[in-house]
Structure 1
């Protein structure tokens, strides 16, 4: 994902491609390009890495709980089958 530093670097690269006569407008161009890219990126369906990692940890914990419950249900079913005989 693009970080704010990457956005600044990309905006600077874009401004550096301007002809020498337009260097006075480079700062304004850089700010506008950066704002435009940030606005477009907010429209995309991204989640921050921290949120992804947090949800992955929750999923792993949930999977472990489900596996333990499945083992417990299997043991109770086996016990019930033995008691019925």
Structure 2
């Protein structure tokens, strides 16, 4: 039983050390730097892009229908 407790304590300490290593600090800083750079680039997510693409397709369909109707009305004159 004391062996398990000892191993758990060592595992816990190793985990704490891994969290406080320069590599973990570098990773955190790199993520923050990249996040800031991406936010300034005015990027959109794939989901937002797909929604806008669908809206554009619907608008193009409506525009085509309105152009056809205008052509028909002009032909009646």
Answer yes or no: same fold by TM over 0.5.
yes
The TM-score range, normalised by the shorter chain, is: 0.5 to 0.7
State the shift of 1:36 in Å: 1.4
- 1:4-19 aligned at under 5 Å gives the runs none
Q: Provide the aligned length of Structure 1 versus Structure 2.
A: 57
Matched, 1:32 2:26: no
d(CA) in 2 for partners of 1:37, 1:78: 58
Scaled by the length of structure 1, the TM-score of the pair is 0.59
Asked which structure has the greater CA Rg, the reply is 2
RMSD: 1.2
The 4+ residue runs of structure 1 with deviation greater than 3 A are none
Gaps of 5+ in 1: 1-23, 81-85
